[in-house]
Structure 1
Amino acid sequence: MSIETINAYYAAFNRGDREGMLALLTDDVVHDINQGGREIGKEAFRRFLAHMDRCYREELTDIVVMASPDGRRAAAEFIVNGTYLSTDEGLPPANGQTYRLPAGTFFELRDGKIARVTTYYNLKDWIAQVGGTA
């Protein structure tokens, strides 16, 4: 079940189906943002997705999902293919730059839903790709 849940989450992401993504999360989902803070709850995750959609257009490819035998934890490795649409606070100015970035996410699952999302990528690499100083 865990691999199918994660695959459904990423399929919804790539379709731009934010409600489909949110439906796969627990109400008290924990979201650890790359080099950022921790947010808790589905509404906080909804706001995060809206922010990301305003600043970035992304598609994930080469997705590989792995899961623990008990199905309580999973991880995914993938490539983020994106376009920087609107300047994000504290980051270089946006002018439609494209980027290709390896990333990974760790998940905890509970009762068939995602209870934690922790994503990692190399921010210095991303900044260098969009023409900032790394």
Structure 2
Amino acid sequence: MDAKALITAYYDAFNAGETERMLDMLHPHVEHHVNEGQVRKGRDQFAAFTEHMSVSYRETLTDIVVMATEAGDRAAAEFVVNGTYLKTDAGLPEANGQAYRLPAGAFFTIEDGLISRVTTYYNLADWTRQVGG
């Protein structure tokens, strides 16, 4: 599978709520660089993150545009996060089902046909404003 198809399949799995399928596309030593916080290393830490996210947020991505290098070793995606804040996350405003719509982007490294790095960016101040923080 080429890089664009891999990233598209990854986001298709995200939108379908198919975490196991997402995890299958990750290199065992994946590094997850989040907008705010520490780097998570390995599939287990990534799986724990996705489990936490599914409890606190319900999100669907739209307007996804995927780009990739000719070599297929790096890719990027731009998208809109359409979400609902379900459960208060530590250090963030109180959740009460607020809806949000947030532009975001991600960068990927691909090794051996698997995603070995995911770096995600969004505007936390915009999200906080939208949920009333």
Aligned mates of 1:10, 1:19 — CA distance in 2: 13
Q: Could you tell me the TM-score, scaled by structure 1's length? A: 0.98
Tell me which residue corresponds to 1:3: 4
- Aligned to 2:32, the other structure's residue is in SS state strand
Identity of aligned residues (%): 60
Tell me which residue corresponds to 2:65: 64
User: Which blocks of at least 5 consecutive residues in structure 2 are unaligned?
Assistant: none
Tell me which residue corresponds to 1:120: 121
CA root-mean-square deviation: 0.4
Residue identity in the other structure for 1:91: L
Q: CA deviation at 1:108?
A: 0.1
Q: Deviations over 1:66-119 (max 9, x none)?
A: 001100000000000000000000000000000000000000000111000000
* Aligned length in residues: 132
Aligned mates of 1:70, 1:17 — CA distance in 2: 28
Tell me which residue corresponds to 2:14: 13
Aligned mates of 2:91, 2:36 — CA distance in 1: 13
Off by >3 Å, runs of 4+ in structure 1: none
Q: CA deviation at 1:127?
A: 0.1
Tell me which residue corresponds to 1:23: 24
